[in-house]
Structure 1
């Protein structure tokens, strides 16, 4: 069972295929198994690496909430790359993994060939921030009190998950069953230490404006907590593009795997061809009609 020693713990990881390294970072409700449609597709062309974050067996599950944070999630990813002797990689993250990829790009841009930040931004809107943190603590307590079966039954029916259930009941059921298998301790600690404490994407504006790594933002159009943050990231990051997948929620890589894979594949192809640069400043005219040099 391959494990990487990082930050005093060990992370379980898997590899498939060969070629340029492509790392996938999972969401809170998933683990490396939730990337299976992407592993099967991209391992035909890339060296695909998936891993379980700390708190997700068979990775180690620290019992102290101080072992979990947004900073630590990024350092774990760096540690995994060092263990695998990777100088650079393409990185793809969904939700919690999207936050990790975004912060990785901000802190270690020299290690990133490209960034895919999907389903990212939940809990960022200022007027919803207090409610978000209240929900985080309430959910963590529920996990500790009732266990993962109860948590999975609740969480998998959330307002950004019902789209998956409506479209693909069998795929959604597998997602819910895998969620129920997660560690209650690891899930509660992750909720408190990572989700509950991570900064809003709006707080990162100045840093994002300096980011020059090719970036793709992906969101479902019914993933309400992530729609506005997705638009914000697109406008703040000079090298960012935005894909919005219609009639879709949060679990977009499983809910719409073909559209998700195609968008990422097209993005990676453009990056590798040297065709994904900063936004043309002429597209930022104050006028919808006049070029910037003719706008009075």
Structure 2
């Protein structure tokens, strides 16, 4: 399987960065290098993206555990000693052999992040992923958080489902500095990160969000996936309380004559889960790369 499919190539050509994308794409491969394996074992948080095989909807979900719960068990294989609760939208997907899954491991302490995509295989303790794409991203737009606490006594509350955003959820989104974005394509799934100063995501209505696509690594994996398949899932995390907001729907990219790219996301379902993540992070230091949000 190549690094890029027709969707990514279409966006690269439109923006005029195909040569740069080819150069960056040489860092992508199926192997998990020792430095990547060591990075994985230090992390308490893993974000996963996949399509629910029952509904076809795409979701992004968090998994947490004591560092070491995610580890490389071979040159192309990762084992995860955890699984989502049965109430999570991806519980069925990760219990199904061969589900395409995209993962993102992010360390706010060092502003490092790593993506590993492949296919899931249920195991006795959780699941494994046979990797077909492994690569790191630059720290651009990633907020620094110096430390975290693991709160084992924090108990998840029942999730709340809706087909549109409440005013409180809209305020939460517009105050966010980070979200995770799951997309799919004919060969698999991918999970990426989006960051910026609060206000970089706008709530246009109870069923629509918008954000600018800031300049990145020129690969255009996410926007390319949306060209091929508009389904997408968003995960927003309250880094203090552990509450999560998962959104599923469809996204499209608007290309303006001045080169700006705006993503429009239509919400089909929202799942808010209070106290879902037993981690409490310190206050953010915003990335110096973050543009000021448009007013």
Is the TM value for this pair above 0.5? no
Higher relative contact order (CA 8 A, sep 6+): 2
Quick check: which has more Rg, 1 or 2? 1
Higher helix proportion: 1
TM-score (norm 1): 0.28
TM-score, reference length from structure 2? 0.28
